[in-house]
Structure 1
């Protein structure tokens, strides 16, 4: 685990503060932690889908992505839901129904499609895995308000059209890296089943931040190092700042 974590720790500008871990490890925090983690897996998939639809795919292929996401979004956004029923649905719900066609007007389409599709498939799978854990522990899914973390990071994305994709990919890298760092931070404090699951997520998602960084450099005509450093500083500020709400990516609890 440490071998996987070392490059992530070097990439991030701060560690998760102990004050967050102290709240996360308390049993009464587990419901909110798992529900928000479930939401984070869906948001990660939706973000990758948005980037593909906005830049890399034809409109018809973009609609295919929306169909792929529909069962997951319906579960989260509609109030009538049953975890057991959702998990029992056709396993093929996490499969694309047809091949995707690249946007001929975007030169990097073929570079973006394979890694982002792979990421989306993994995030949907992890979404289901979190739901399975919740179902086994009789934790009902409920709607909770998103934390300020992702929105705070996105507020620093440039408004220059030619650099928006670069910045969004870098933001994606930091969100993925922070998730992995928190999997590792939490694992020692959790029961054996949940600890094993979080270590498995670290193994599965450890490369995601590197994929995002590689794509960010690919689509940028300039070196992205300065931009990576700037957004990393902003990410660390959000993690270290006091936070009124406890979420998977929240800052220090007040």
Structure 2
């Protein structure tokens, strides 16, 4: 476990608060397992969608963008329209063609490489959560979105390249918080879920670093102030009362 403590050390330093113990108390209750796993699964898809949006908007031509849309379509059909099955999705995590950056893209290959790998991993995690739910006879049911991501995105600037930089910083915080919560929650779960959540730590830790590195590469100035500002926003969302229990919800107010 020492390896994971070393892995988590920079994440704990990056985040401005720890997950409240009261959230852990709610998350480990058996009656909350369905919403926890469902929201986790949806979050994996949303992470893939965010990465895909970044590539399509900033880095690739229409053909590559269409290939990315086709890649995500079976997962989106399952979540939003309940079309398809776990058997269909087992074969779905394949990209139909190489994604090549536009010649005039100033963000280029690094953005494409990092985000395509992130999409592949997030969709794999999506399927792993769905498989766990399927094996436990936990049905997938639509749930509403929590306040967390919207609360972060509300502070994103509206002019480029600051919009892109801010969205990358938000992505870094979302990935870092996911990693911290996996580690916090794992010891209180059964063996299968414990091993699964621990197995996610390394990729989630790398994702947050990739987002931060891209944000600094794209910015002409040091991003430390923006990182600190979003850190305050994120910590407020995590530590303030929240009546809606989700994977990234705040301090439980009442349930």
TM-score interval for Structure 1 and Structure 2 normalised by the shorter chain: over 0.9
1:71 counterpart (50, 71, 74): 74
1:37 aligns with 2:35: no
Q: Which residue of the partner structure matches residue 56 of structure 1?
A: 59
1:94 aligns with 2:93: yes
Q: Which residue of the partner structure matches residue 162 of structure 1?
A: 161
Distance 1:36 1:91, change over 3 A: closer
Measured against aligned partners, the alpha-carbon deviations of 1:106-152 in whole angstroms (never above 9, x if no partner) come to: 21121200011000000000000000100111100010001000000
Q: Which residue of the partner structure matches residue 23 of structure 1?
A: 26
Q: How does 1:117-132 map to 2 (within 5 A)?
A: 117-132=116-131
Q: Which residue of the partner structure matches residue 13 of structure 1?
A: 16
Given that 2:44 and 2:125 are in contact with CA atoms closer than 8 Å, whether structure 1 keeps it comes out as yes
4+ residue runs of structure 1 moved beyond 3 angstroms? none
Q: Which residue of the partner structure matches residue 177 of structure 2?
A: 178
- Stretches of structure 2 lacking an aligned partner (at least 5 in a row): none
Q: 1:78, 1:4 → 2: CA distance?
A: 38
Deviation at 1:104, TM superposition (A): 2.1
CA RMSD of aligned residues (A): 1.1
Q: 2:208, 2:89 → 1: CA distance?
A: 30
Q: Which residue of the partner structure matches residue 113 of structure 1?
A: 112
Q: Which residue of the partner structure matches residue 142 of structure 1?
A: 141
Q: 2:79, 2:112 → 1: CA distance?
A: 25
Q: Which residue of the partner structure matches residue 236 of structure 2?
A: 237
Q: Which residue of the partner structure matches residue 50 of structure 2?
A: 47
Given that 2:77 and 2:83 are in contact with CA atoms closer than 8 Å, whether structure 1 keeps it comes out as no
Q: Which residue of the partner structure matches residue 207 of structure 2?
A: 208
Q: 1:61, 1:246 → 2: CA distance?
A: 37
Deviation at 1:80, TM superposition (A): 4.7
Deviation at 1:203, TM superposition (A): 2.3
Aligned residues: 250
Deviation at 1:100, TM superposition (A): 1.5
Given that 2:74 and 2:89 are in contact with CA atoms closer than 8 Å, whether structure 1 keeps it comes out as no
Q: Which one is further off, 91-100 or 59-68?
A: 91-100
Q: Which residue of the partner structure matches residue 196 of structure 1?
A: 195
Output the TM-score relative to the length of structure 1.
0.96
